Protein backbone atom coordinates (compact mmCIF):
# COMPACT_ATOMS: atom_id res chain seq x y z
CA UNK A 1 0.00 0.00 0.00
CA UNK A 2 1.21 3.49 -0.84
CA UNK A 3 1.46 6.27 1.68
CA UNK A 4 0.29 9.87 1.93
CA UNK A 5 2.32 11.96 4.38
CA UNK A 6 1.97 15.48 5.71
CA UNK A 7 5.11 17.23 6.90
CA UNK A 8 5.00 20.31 9.10
CA UNK A 9 8.11 22.45 9.19
CA UNK A 10 8.98 24.07 12.48
CA UNK A 11 11.38 26.95 13.14
CA UNK A 12 11.58 28.18 16.75
CA UNK A 13 7.87 28.17 17.52
CA UNK A 14 6.57 28.98 14.07
CA UNK A 15 5.39 26.72 11.28
CA UNK A 16 6.78 27.44 7.88
CA UNK A 17 6.12 27.41 4.21
CA UNK A 18 9.23 26.48 2.28
CA UNK A 19 10.05 27.37 -1.32
CA UNK A 20 13.32 26.06 -2.71
CA UNK A 21 14.39 25.83 0.95
CA UNK A 22 13.64 29.49 1.72
CA UNK A 23 11.27 29.76 4.64
CA UNK A 24 8.25 31.88 5.32
CA UNK A 25 6.78 31.78 8.83
CA UNK A 26 3.01 31.19 8.77
CA UNK A 27 1.87 30.65 12.34
CA UNK A 28 2.58 29.24 15.75
CA UNK A 29 1.38 25.97 17.31
CA UNK A 30 -1.95 27.55 18.30
CA UNK A 31 -2.41 28.68 14.73
CA UNK A 32 -1.59 25.20 13.47
CA UNK A 33 -4.00 23.49 15.84
CA UNK A 34 -6.70 26.01 14.99
CA UNK A 35 -6.26 25.59 11.23
CA UNK A 36 -5.82 21.86 11.43
CA UNK A 37 -7.89 19.74 13.77
CA UNK A 38 -5.05 17.22 13.70
CA UNK A 39 -7.25 14.41 14.97
CA UNK A 40 -9.50 15.06 12.01
CA UNK A 41 -6.76 15.72 9.46
CA UNK A 42 -4.81 12.61 10.44
CA UNK A 43 -7.71 10.41 9.38
CA UNK A 44 -6.67 11.09 5.79
CA UNK A 45 -2.96 10.48 6.39
CA UNK A 46 -0.68 7.49 6.73
CA UNK A 47 1.91 9.45 8.59
CA UNK A 48 2.85 12.83 9.94
CA UNK A 49 6.32 14.38 9.91
CA UNK A 50 7.39 17.17 12.23
CA UNK A 51 10.63 18.62 11.01
CA UNK A 52 12.81 21.19 12.72
CA UNK A 53 14.09 23.38 9.91
CA UNK A 54 15.41 26.08 12.24
CA UNK A 55 18.13 28.16 10.67
CA UNK A 56 20.74 29.03 13.26
CA UNK A 57 20.48 28.29 16.98
CA UNK A 58 18.00 25.57 17.86
CA UNK A 59 15.83 25.11 20.93
CA UNK A 60 15.66 21.35 21.04
CA UNK A 61 13.58 21.07 24.21
CA UNK A 62 10.92 23.32 22.70
CA UNK A 63 10.91 21.23 19.55
CA UNK A 64 10.39 18.04 21.60
CA UNK A 65 7.40 19.75 23.22
CA UNK A 66 5.90 20.61 19.85
CA UNK A 67 6.36 17.04 18.62
CA UNK A 68 4.65 15.72 21.76
CA UNK A 69 1.72 18.10 21.41
CA UNK A 70 1.20 17.16 17.79
CA UNK A 71 1.71 13.42 18.34
CA UNK A 72 -0.85 13.31 21.14
CA UNK A 73 -3.51 14.65 18.75
CA UNK A 74 -3.36 11.81 16.27
CA UNK A 75 -3.20 8.04 16.14
CA UNK A 76 -0.83 7.64 13.22
CA UNK A 77 2.97 7.31 13.11
CA UNK A 78 4.96 10.47 13.63
CA UNK A 79 8.44 11.04 12.27
CA UNK A 80 10.45 13.79 13.93
CA UNK A 81 13.81 15.17 13.04
CA UNK A 82 15.93 17.86 11.62
CA UNK A 83 19.10 18.81 13.42
CA UNK A 84 19.49 15.70 15.56
CA UNK A 85 23.08 15.70 16.79
CA UNK A 86 23.09 13.32 19.74
CA UNK A 87 21.66 10.13 21.19
CA UNK A 88 20.09 12.21 23.97
CA UNK A 89 18.17 14.39 21.49
CA UNK A 90 16.97 11.34 19.59
CA UNK A 91 15.87 9.67 22.79
CA UNK A 92 13.99 12.78 23.90
CA UNK A 93 12.06 12.88 20.62
CA UNK A 94 11.12 9.19 20.80
CA UNK A 95 10.07 9.46 24.41
CA UNK A 96 8.17 12.62 23.55
CA UNK A 97 5.94 10.85 21.07
CA UNK A 98 7.88 10.34 17.84
CA UNK A 99 8.01 6.89 16.25
CA UNK A 100 10.76 7.52 13.77
CA UNK A 101 13.70 9.87 13.42
CA UNK A 102 14.61 11.81 10.34
CA UNK A 103 18.37 12.20 9.95
CA UNK A 104 19.98 14.18 7.22
CA UNK A 105 23.14 16.17 7.94
CA UNK A 106 24.19 13.59 10.55
CA UNK A 107 24.86 11.08 7.75
CA UNK A 108 27.66 13.42 6.69
CA UNK A 109 28.85 14.98 9.93
CA UNK A 110 28.46 12.02 12.29
CA UNK A 111 27.74 8.67 10.61
CA UNK A 112 28.69 6.81 13.78
CA UNK A 113 25.74 8.53 15.52
CA UNK A 114 23.47 7.15 12.79
CA UNK A 115 24.97 3.68 13.35
CA UNK A 116 24.39 3.98 17.09
CA UNK A 117 20.78 5.17 16.66
CA UNK A 118 20.00 2.29 14.31
CA UNK A 119 21.58 -0.18 16.72
CA UNK A 120 19.62 1.25 19.66
CA UNK A 121 16.22 1.79 18.05
CA UNK A 122 16.31 -0.46 14.99
CA UNK A 123 16.74 0.67 11.40
CA UNK A 124 12.98 0.85 10.90
CA UNK A 125 13.23 3.91 13.16
CA UNK A 126 15.71 5.75 10.93
CA UNK A 127 14.53 7.78 7.95
CA UNK A 128 17.30 9.30 5.85
CA UNK A 129 16.42 12.71 4.48
CA UNK A 130 18.21 13.11 1.16
CA UNK A 131 18.10 16.62 -0.28
CA UNK A 132 18.90 16.83 -3.95
CA UNK A 133 19.60 19.80 -6.21
CA UNK A 134 19.98 19.74 -9.96
CA UNK A 135 23.33 21.07 -11.13
CA UNK A 136 23.62 21.18 -14.88
CA UNK A 137 22.57 17.74 -16.08
CA UNK A 138 23.48 16.05 -12.79
CA UNK A 139 22.08 15.90 -9.28
CA UNK A 140 24.08 16.83 -6.23
CA UNK A 141 23.24 15.72 -2.70
CA UNK A 142 23.33 18.51 -0.14
CA UNK A 143 23.09 18.67 3.64
CA UNK A 144 22.82 21.45 6.22
CA UNK A 145 19.64 22.75 4.59
CA UNK A 146 21.27 22.95 1.21
CA UNK A 147 24.42 24.68 2.37
CA UNK A 148 26.92 21.89 1.79
CA UNK A 149 27.38 19.52 -1.12
CA UNK A 150 28.30 16.04 0.06
CA UNK A 151 28.07 14.00 -3.13
CA UNK A 152 27.58 14.27 -6.85
CA UNK A 153 26.50 10.67 -7.00
CA UNK A 154 23.00 10.03 -5.66
CA UNK A 155 23.39 6.25 -5.82
CA UNK A 156 26.62 6.34 -3.84
CA UNK A 157 24.97 8.52 -1.19
CA UNK A 158 22.02 6.13 -0.93
CA UNK A 159 24.49 3.28 -0.37
CA UNK A 160 26.23 5.39 2.27
CA UNK A 161 23.08 6.14 4.29
CA UNK A 162 21.90 2.54 4.02
CA UNK A 163 25.28 1.35 5.28
CA UNK A 164 24.77 3.64 8.28
CA UNK A 165 21.37 2.40 9.37
CA UNK A 166 18.77 4.13 7.19
CA UNK A 167 15.56 2.11 7.02
CA UNK A 168 13.66 4.52 4.78
CA UNK A 169 14.72 7.12 2.25
CA UNK A 170 12.99 10.50 1.92
CA UNK A 171 14.10 12.22 -1.25
CA UNK A 172 13.49 15.92 -1.44
CA UNK A 173 14.02 17.98 -4.52
CA UNK A 174 15.13 21.48 -3.60
CA UNK A 175 14.32 22.73 -7.09
CA UNK A 176 10.74 21.50 -6.83
CA UNK A 177 10.26 22.41 -3.14
CA UNK A 178 7.28 24.69 -2.66
CA UNK A 179 6.78 25.32 -6.36
CA UNK A 180 3.62 23.26 -6.72
CA UNK A 181 4.87 22.04 -10.10
CA UNK A 182 4.89 18.34 -9.27
CA UNK A 183 7.27 15.86 -7.70
CA UNK A 184 10.63 14.99 -9.21
CA UNK A 185 10.08 11.27 -9.83
CA UNK A 186 13.02 11.33 -12.25
CA UNK A 187 15.25 11.33 -9.18
CA UNK A 188 14.33 7.74 -8.48
CA UNK A 189 15.21 6.66 -12.00
CA UNK A 190 18.81 7.55 -11.15
CA UNK A 191 18.93 4.91 -8.46
CA UNK A 192 20.23 1.43 -9.02
CA UNK A 193 17.81 -1.46 -8.56
CA UNK A 194 19.37 -1.95 -5.17
CA UNK A 195 17.88 0.29 -2.49
CA UNK A 196 15.61 -2.16 -0.79
CA UNK A 197 14.36 0.44 1.68
CA UNK A 198 11.07 2.25 1.05
CA UNK A 199 11.49 5.44 -1.01
CA UNK A 200 9.46 8.54 -0.15
CA UNK A 201 9.29 11.63 -2.31
CA UNK A 202 8.73 15.21 -1.20
CA UNK A 203 8.85 18.61 -2.81
CA UNK A 204 6.55 20.09 -5.41
CA UNK A 205 3.05 18.80 -4.66
CA UNK A 206 0.59 21.40 -5.94
CA UNK A 207 -2.53 19.25 -6.08
CA UNK A 208 -3.70 15.67 -5.74
CA UNK A 209 -2.89 14.94 -9.40
CA UNK A 210 0.80 15.35 -8.58
CA UNK A 211 0.49 12.85 -5.74
CA UNK A 212 -1.29 10.40 -8.03
CA UNK A 213 1.32 10.75 -10.73
CA UNK A 214 4.16 10.08 -8.30
CA UNK A 215 2.44 7.14 -6.59
CA UNK A 216 2.16 5.45 -9.99
CA UNK A 217 5.97 5.31 -10.13
CA UNK A 218 6.94 1.77 -9.08
CA UNK A 219 9.68 2.97 -6.75
CA UNK A 220 7.60 5.48 -4.81
CA UNK A 221 6.35 4.04 -1.55
CA UNK A 222 4.88 7.32 -0.40
CA UNK A 223 4.52 11.02 -1.11
CA UNK A 224 4.96 13.78 1.43
CA UNK A 225 3.77 17.34 1.18
CA UNK A 226 4.80 20.18 3.42
CA UNK A 227 2.49 22.76 1.96
CA UNK A 228 0.68 24.19 4.98
CA UNK A 229 -2.05 25.81 2.97
CA UNK A 230 -2.93 23.31 0.23
CA UNK A 231 -4.67 20.65 2.28
CA UNK A 232 -6.74 22.38 4.91
CA UNK A 233 -9.93 20.80 6.24
CA UNK A 234 -10.88 17.43 4.78
CA UNK A 235 -8.54 17.83 1.81
CA UNK A 236 -6.36 14.84 2.70
CA UNK A 237 -9.38 12.59 3.16
CA UNK A 238 -10.73 13.76 -0.18
CA UNK A 239 -7.32 13.27 -1.81
CA UNK A 240 -7.11 9.75 -0.41
CA UNK A 241 -10.50 8.88 -1.85
CA UNK A 242 -9.43 10.23 -5.22
CA UNK A 243 -6.19 8.23 -5.10
CA UNK A 244 -8.05 5.04 -4.20
CA UNK A 245 -10.62 5.67 -6.93
CA UNK A 246 -7.76 5.95 -9.43
CA UNK A 247 -6.80 2.38 -8.61
CA UNK A 248 -3.84 3.04 -6.32
CA UNK A 249 -3.66 0.79 -3.29
CA UNK A 250 -3.94 3.04 -0.23
CA UNK A 251 -5.23 2.22 3.23
CA UNK A 252 -8.82 3.16 3.99
CA UNK A 253 -10.28 3.38 7.44
CA UNK A 254 -13.73 3.75 8.83
CA UNK A 255 -14.53 7.38 9.43
CA UNK A 256 -15.42 8.67 12.84
CA UNK A 257 -14.16 5.56 14.64
CA UNK A 258 -11.77 7.34 16.95
CA UNK A 259 -14.43 9.86 17.96
CA UNK A 260 -16.93 7.09 18.71
CA UNK A 261 -14.44 5.36 20.98
CA UNK A 262 -13.56 8.41 23.03
CA UNK A 263 -13.80 7.48 26.72
CA UNK A 264 -15.53 4.19 25.84
CA UNK A 265 -13.74 2.44 28.72
CA UNK A 266 -14.25 5.27 31.17
CA UNK A 267 -17.30 3.60 32.73
CA UNK A 268 -15.21 0.50 33.52
CA UNK A 269 -12.93 2.41 35.86
Partner 1 sequence: MHVVVLDLGTSNVRSLTAALTWLGAPHSVATDASALESATHVLLPGVGAWDAAITRITEAQLRDPIMAHVRTRGRPLLGICLGMQLLFEASDEGTLPGLGLLPGRFRQLVPDIARGHAVPHARFSRVTGSADTGLFAGLAADPCFYFTHSFALPQLAGDGETMWCQHSQPFVAAFTRGRLSGAQFHPEKSQGAGLRLLANFLRRDGAVVACAA
We find the least distance from the C-beta atom of residue 132 to partner 1, in angstroms, to be 20
Rounded CA-CA distance 72/86 in Å is 24
Q: Which CB sits closer to partner 1, 42 or 105?
A: 42
One-character DSSP codes across the chain: -BEEEEEEEEETTEEEEEETTEEEEEEEHHHHHHH--HHHHGGG-SEEEEEE---SS--HHHHHHHHHHHHTT-SS-EEEESS--SHHHHHHHHHTT-SEEEESTHHHH-HHHHHHHHHHH-GGGEEEEEEEEEETTEEEEEETTTTEEEES-HHHHHHHHHHTT-SEEEEEETTTTTT-S---THHHHTS-S---S-EEEES---SHHHHHHHHTSTTEEEEEE--TTTT-TTHHHHHHHHHHHTT--B----TTHHHHHTTTTGGG-
Is 131 among the residues known to form the active site?
A: yes
Kindly state whether residue 6 participates in binding partner 1, applying the rule CB under 8 A.
Answer: no
Among 72, 135, 152, 155, binds partner 1 (CB under 8 A): 72
Options 11, 52, 108, 131, the catalytic residue: 131
Q: Which of 77, 111, 146, 180 binds partner 1 (CB under 8 A)?
A: 77
Smaller CB separation from partner 1, 100 or 164: 100
Give 133 or 217: the residue with its C-beta nearer to partner 1. Answer: 217
CB of 8 or CB of 197, closer to partner 1: 197
Rounded Cα–Cα distance for residues 205 and 223 (Å): 9
Judged by CB under 8 A, the chain residues 108 through 137 that form the site for partner 1 are 119-125
Of the candidates 96, 129, 203, 204, which one interacts with partner 1 according to CB under 8 A? 96
Any contact of residue 95 with partner 1 (CB under 8 A)?
A: yes
Q: Whose Cβ is closer to partner 1: residue 147's or residue 255's?
A: 255
Interface with partner 1 includes 197 (CB under 8 A)? yes
Taking CB under 8 A as the criterion, the residue among 30, 136, 189, 193 binding partner 1 is 193
Contact residue for partner 1 among 68, 182, 203, 204 (CB under 8 A): 68
Restricting to residues 150-189, which ones interact with partner 1 according to CB under 8 A? 167-168
Of the candidate residues 50, 76, 102, 211, the single one contacting partner 1 (CB under 8 A)? 76
Cβ count within 10 A of residue 136: 6
Binding of partner 1 by 246 (CB under 8 A):
no
Q: What is the rounded CA–CA span in Å between residue 171 and residue 174?
A: 10
CB–CB of 185/218 below 8 Å? no
Closer CB to partner 1, residue 43 or residue 160?
43
Residues at the interface with partner 1 (CB under 8 A): 1-3, 42-43, 46, 68, 71-72, 75-78, 94-100, 119-125, 167-168, 193, 196-199, 218, 221-222, 251-254, 256-269
Active site members: 131
Amino acid sequence: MRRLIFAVLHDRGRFQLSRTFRLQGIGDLRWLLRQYDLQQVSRGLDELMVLDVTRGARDHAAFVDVVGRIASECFIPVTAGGGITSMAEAHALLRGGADKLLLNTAFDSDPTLCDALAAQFGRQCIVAGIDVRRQGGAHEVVVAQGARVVSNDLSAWVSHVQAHGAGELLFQSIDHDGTGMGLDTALLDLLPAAPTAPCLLMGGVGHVGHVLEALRHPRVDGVATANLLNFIGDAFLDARKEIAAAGIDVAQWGEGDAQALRNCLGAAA
